[in-house]
Structure 1
Amino acid sequence: MGVVKGVVGDFVMTFIVIFSTSTIGILTHILGSAFGIGQGLTSLFITMVIVFVLFSLFGIIGDALGGAAFNPAGTAAFYAAGVAKDSLYSVAARFPAQVLNCA
């Protein structure tokens, strides 16, 4: 049951990340226009704040989904370092869920 929950959590988490990060550019433009900010370093600052907030929320959502992750490289690295509590089979089952959303 834990493997299936991990696979579903990874699939949902990856979908949320892909969808959210694809809106960063337009969200930066909307916020910059709302505050009357042009291009340049202030626009970059707005983008950095958006990315910080999104990835902070992704951490909370990942924890709520039972430790879901969106990056297969991170999953492999944590398994190789011995930090993850997953077995080789559960890591192998989680990879397709993380990769299928990116296609």
Structure 2
Amino acid sequence: MVREDREIDALRLDSIVRDVQRFIAKCDHIYLTIDLDVLPAAEAPGVSASAARGVSLALIEPLIEAVRDSGKLRLADLAELNPSLDIDSRTARAAARLVHLLTLDN
């Protein structure tokens, strides 16, 4: 399943979450990599290839929650944080928020 950033918006989010859940249903275990380059440059300037559009945290979080809540998540990592490019630790804070979201107990 592949979605371009222009295809992910609030109107389609519920449908995309269901697609993610259908994909997860076919899996025994999930290894999730979150590439911080997916976030818009305004939310994550501290990456090597900032996105002109990207997918906002508000839209990424429900997708991550679907993976986390599946009970199949075994390993997760975040990629592409470059502190030397980060502005006001904005990207680091976004990454910390995503790690916190991944580790919440339900």
Q: TM-score, normalised by structure 2?
A: 0.33
RCO comparison, higher one (Cα < 8 Å, 6+)? 1
> What is the TM-score normalised by the length of structure 1?
0.34
Name the one with the larger helix percent: 1
